[in-house]
Structures are given as C-alpha cells and as structure tokens.
A and B are shown apart, each in its own frame.
Chain A
Amino acid sequence: MDRQRSWGPGSDGPGDFWPSESGPKDFLVARLADCAGAMNFYLPIAEMSVNVFVFLGMGAAVGFLSGLFGVGGGFLMTPLLIFSGIPAAVAVGTEAAQIVASSVSGAIAQWRRQNVDVKMGVVLLAGGAVGSVVGVQFVKILREAGQFDFVVSLSYVTFLGVVGTLMLIESVNTIRKVRQGQAAPSRRPGQHNWIHGLPLKMRFHRSKLYISAIPPLVIGALVGFLAAIMGVGGGFIMVPAMIYLLRVPTNVVVGTSLFQIVFVTGITTVLHAAQNYTVDVVLALLLMIGGVIGAQFGAVAGERLRGEQLRFLLAALVLLVCLRMAWGLIAEPAELYSITSGVTGGHG
C-alpha cells in the first residue's frame, strides 16, 4: 500500500498543513481510501478478498431502492453481486439469506396487523417448499454442467423483461390518465374466471375466497423455484398473481406474500448451504447491515413520490437491469474460455 503522503502539523512547514497541491478534500479522500484499503476481508465461500465498504455500500444502495419502491431488492442485488465478480451460485445462495433478513420484520409487522391469511400462506408455502427443493437441485445440476451462469442470465432477462414492460405500460397509462384529470381506475375483484372451475376447493376465510388449492400451490412452487435459481424473494410474481389470478383482497396480499417469502427464502438458504455450499455468511452479513440502513432512508424518500411515479421509476430500473443482463448474453465476450476447479463434489 502506498503510504508515502506525509501529513500532520509541520510536515511541510507552516501554512502548508495539507500535502502540497491538494486541498483538504483530496486529503480526506486519500485518508478514507487508506482506511478502506485496510478493511479487506476474505470471504470464505466466495473465495475472494473483498473490501468491506464496497459491499456495505452496495447493500445500502439496494436497501435504499427497496425501501423507496417497497420491494425486496433481490432482483437488483443478485445481478449486482454477479457483476462485481461474486460467483453466480454464491450470489444466489447468499442473497436468499439476505432476503430473509430484509423481509422478516415486515412480515412480523403485517402479522401483528392481522394482514396475513395464514391458511393461504401455508398453501403457498407448501408449493414454495417443493419449488425450492427442485430449484436447488436444478442449480446443482446446472453448475455441474457449467450452464448455471447462462440460465441465471436468461431467467433474469425473461422475467425482468416481462415484468418491467408490463409495469412500465401500466404506470405510463396511469400517469397519463392522472394528467388528463381522470381518477385512476380501481380494479374490481370478484368476477369468476377459469380458476374457479378447478377441483380441490378450499375455503380461505381471511381472504373471503372459496377456490381450488391448485392455483396457490402452483404459484407458490413457481415462486419457490425462482427464489432458488435467481436469488429473489419472488414478490414481483407473487403479488400480481395473488391480485389478478387468485383475487385475494389487497389488504392481505402484501402480508401473506411476505409470510411466504420469509419461509421460502429461509428454506432455500438452508438447502443452498447444505447442497451447494454457496451461502457466504460474511457477505450476507455485510449486505444485511448495509441494506437495513439504506432501506430506512429509502422509505422516507418514497413517501414524497406518487405511486405511479414510483412504479414508473421501478419499471425503468427493472428494464435497465434486464438490458444489462441481455447485453452480457449477446455481446461477444472478451474471453471465450472459463475454468472451474476442484469440482469433485463439495470440497477437496
């Protein structure tokens, strides 16, 4: 490390306290860089030495955005970790643990306000557990075949592309209508659709629904599967699916989805750790600390923006991540080859 800058009183004579040709700001930046340089930590699972502040900052930035938009942030954090050099499988496994931390307090708050349909949550969770088991196994097979990075990118491009586009269209329409002076239309649930023709009907008292258990099981399984392979909570699939397909009343949607996400990402974390050895607790802790702090500021900032404006910004962000991932698939890579070592199942 270069520590040749001299500093301190009298180092360069009177009136020249700061090193020559650099102001106090440069000086502080240099000192901070020195401190930051000293804060390297070797991540045991990712097998790389990283700067603590970089990942704290990354956690804080994504935490801010998730607080601002009221989303989990997994779909931002996992790509960011991959872009910063963390192996894709470790990014996915570790992010699952971080989502547990960021959604547990929200889930408990919703529980206290009785906004959780426990029966619905348990059915979704049953599907989610199955999806997670299958997903983690799928990750293992893909890693052995050397196709995991590719499948992660492809999943991100597909899901972020679809969700981002739909969100963008919806928010632009709403913004236009608001400008024209019309009231934003509120969706009226209650109409019967094809879902009501399915067997295995169950009564969900809290949601005031009498529907087949198959759709929640399938949705839960899909979300669990995506949680395992993409390192996301799956709220971006779960919430619209509950509102538009299951017609769950909006007041229990967020609570029930958070309830399911906490348990499914918890299961996913344990499975990733046990099967793929890809959960890095040190990295997870750094992201959690940064994320918690960032989320508080984000939530405050979010109160100043309108819902449709927030959704528009979120849609733009989602599409940006999608495009970045797509670019990685389409552009000719600088290095066509890659190596994996010590693949003898677990560790040597």
Chain B
Amino acid sequence: MADIAVYTSQRLLFGLSLLAFAVSLAAGRAIADPKPGIASPPVQTESATLDPAVAAANAEEIEADVSTRSVAITSSFTGIEIIVFGAIANAQPEIADAGDYDIVVILEGASERHITRKKNRIAGIWVNTQAITFDDVPSYYAIYSTKPLDEIADPFTLRQNDIGFERIRMRPVKGWETGITAGGLADFREALVRLKRDERRYIQDEYGVNFVGRSLFRATVDLPANVPVGPLKARVHLFRQGVLLDTFNTVVKLERQGLERVLYVFAFDYPLLYGLFAVLMAVCAGLLASAIVARVRR
C-alpha cells in the first residue's frame, strides 16, 4: 500500500510539474533553468529514500504532451510549430545526468499509397518509364532526437520501433514489370524519402530535442503549410544507453476549418455541383466584368 501511495504522489507531483511547465510555455517564457520545486528535485529525493526493490519497480517513464492537440487548417494556414514537451519520471539519481537519457520524438501522418516514378531518356525525350507503388507509407514523418540516431540505439532496436527515415515502413506492391532490380528498389525508396524531404513532409533534426534541466525536455515540431490533413500519431521514445525504456503515445488532430473546409468538402463530396458552381462563378465574373467595363467606358 505504501508503495502505491508513493507512486501516486509521484504521479501527482509530475502532473503538477507538467502543468507548471505548460503554463510557463503558454506564457511564452523561455525556460532556461527549471526553478527548484517545479520539476524533478522532489521526485529525486523521494526515489532516493526508497529501498532498491521499490526503485526497480518504479522504472523510468515518460510523461509528455503537445502544446497544441488540435490544429485548424484554414485558408490562411502557412504552417505552424507545435511543441512536444515532457519529463522523465523516476529518473535515477545516480545516473540523472541528462546525457544518459535519450529522447526521440516522432510525429507520423496517416499511411498512404505512394507511387515513385523514374524518368528515362527515350528518343531524346525524358519520359516516366519505371514506377513502383508503395503501400502504407506515412504521408508525414517528423523525427527529432537528442543526438544522431545511430548513437542512441542499435539498428535492430530502431527498426523494431520504426525510428529513422531508412526504417520507414513502405511495402512495394506493384511495379516489378517495369524492370526494376533489387538494387533499383533501394534507389526508389531513397528517392521517395528525398522527395518527401524536399516537400518538407519528412523532417529530421538530430539535435531537435533539448533537455531543460535534468529531466524536462522539449522539441519544436514544424508542421509546414502542405502538411497532410488528418490525425498525426505522436510518439516519444525514452532510451538509456541503447535500451528502450518507455514509449509515450498521443495524437495531434489536424482539421480543415472555415472556408478551406467548405471548399474541400464541396469539391470532393459534391464534385458535380462544385463543377457547376465553378462555371456559374466564371459566367458571373465575366458578365460582371463586362458590365463594369461598359459603365467605365461610358
């Protein structure tokens, strides 16, 4: 019972510290140093007083959240930055040095079918001749970490958790008939990631997660203007010396709103009416213009 009480009180303290963190973020202050009492110190004192068995039971965990859980995509949307922040619960005092913990923050869009095409020269003209269809490719993938991924964990662990551009799931389903070899397939995968990066839909910052003090961390995630609309899965992985300790999952909603939403729903759910509307608008614009011109000329 005592263990549970301690555990609950820790949870509560962390809830409070997170709240304070969020409030200070909302106030727009940069947190250079966490004030004593806001973040980890109380917890460390508590865990220090615990006997080893209890400490083992209370393994490190991540508590995290995003600054904006719901982003409105309106007609004037030009991109937004959201902040993923959190803290490491039960940070071990003997290794509480922030350098020992590594955080990877990933935001992932819905999986979509992507076709990668390659141009080849035929009779002096560049034409798309080869194409591979990949299924289940994330439409958006932003990855931020405390240091380069290969220094955080071994490739196997990274692959198991879909961490890193090279390990993004993409299932080739069609296109072998266009004469693509196994080596060629790798080129197509690389090209897909490269083009997605050019579009700013795939983003990586190897030093994008910063520790604030000992156990608080934050990452600024860039959602560009062309971010695919839909829910984004956000996950935060906690590593220590190559071992995955905990993963935190949450969702960021991206929703079309206002005129943008009206037009999108109109165009895709009532395409025939939308087309007629476009023509009507064109006719009215043309007539209005000639009426105005006639009046001005007179």
> A: which residues have CB within 8 A of B?
40-42, 44-45, 47-49, 97-98, 100-105, 108-109, 146-147, 150, 154, 266, 269-275, 277, 279, 281-282, 284-285, 288-289, 292, 296, 329-333, 335-344, 346-348
Nearest A residue to B229 via CB reads: A47
Q: What are 28 A-B contacts defined by CB distance under 8 Å?
A: A41-B76, A44-B75, A45-B267, A101-B282, A104-B287, A105-B286, A108-B290, A150-B127, A279-B275, A279-B278, A281-B267, A281-B278, A285-B285, A288-B289, A292-B285, A292-B293, A329-B125, A336-B119, A337-B119, A337-B192, A337-B194, A339-B117, A339-B191, A341-B112, A341-B139, A342-B112, A343-B113, A344-B113
Whether B275 pairs with A296 at a CB distance below 8 angstroms is no
| B20 contacts A by Cβ under 8 Å | no
B191 adjacent to A42 (CB under 8 Å) = no
- Taking A147-B127, A332-B126 as contacts, is the C-beta distance between A103 and B278 under 8 angstroms? no
Closest chain B CB from A88 CB (angstroms): 13
B226 CB-CB contact with A under 8 Å: yes
Contact partner of B279 (CB less than 8 A), chosen from A100, A289, A337, is A100
Find out whether the CB atom of A270 lies under 8 angstroms from the CB atom of B112. Answer: no
User: Which residues on the A side are within 8 Å of B110 (C-beta)?
Assistant: 348
Bound-state Cα–Cα, A299 to B249, Å: 62
Chain B residues with CB under 8 Å of A340's CB are: 114-115, 117
Number of contacts between A and B (CB, 8 Å)?
A: 178
Contacts A42-B74, A44-B263 given; 5 further ones with Cβ under 8 A? A275-B271, A329-B125, A332-B126, A336-B191, A342-B113
Nearest Cβ distance between residue B70 and chain A, in whole angstroms?
Answer: 17
Closest partner residue, chain A, to B224 (CB atom):
A49
Please indicate the chain A residues that have their CB under 8 angstroms from the CB of B126 in the complex.
329-333, 336
A48→B112 contact, CB < 8 A = no
Inside 8 A of B25's CB, which chain A residues have their CB?
none
How long is the Cα–Cα vector from A49 to B194 in the complex, in angstroms?
Answer: 21
List B contacts of A289 (CB < 8 A): 285
Given A330-B125, A339-B195, A340-B117, does the pair A281, B78 have CB atoms closer than 8 Å? Answer: no
Per-residue contact bits, chain B 60-79, to A (CB 8 Å; 1 contact, 0 not): 00000000000001111111
Contact (A346, B268) CB under 8 Å given A279-B275, A337-B195: yes
**Cα of A339 to Cα of B128 in the assembled complex, Å:** 11
Given the complex, which residues of A lie within 8 Å of B186, measured CB to CB? none
A40-B78, A42-B225, A329-B126 as given contacts; A100 in contact with B119, CB under 8 Å: no
Q: Collect the chain B residues with CB atoms within 8 Å of residue A288's CB.
A: 282, 285-286, 289
Q: CB distance A44 to B272 under 8 Å?
A: no
Cβ-defined contact, B267 with A277, below 8 A: yes
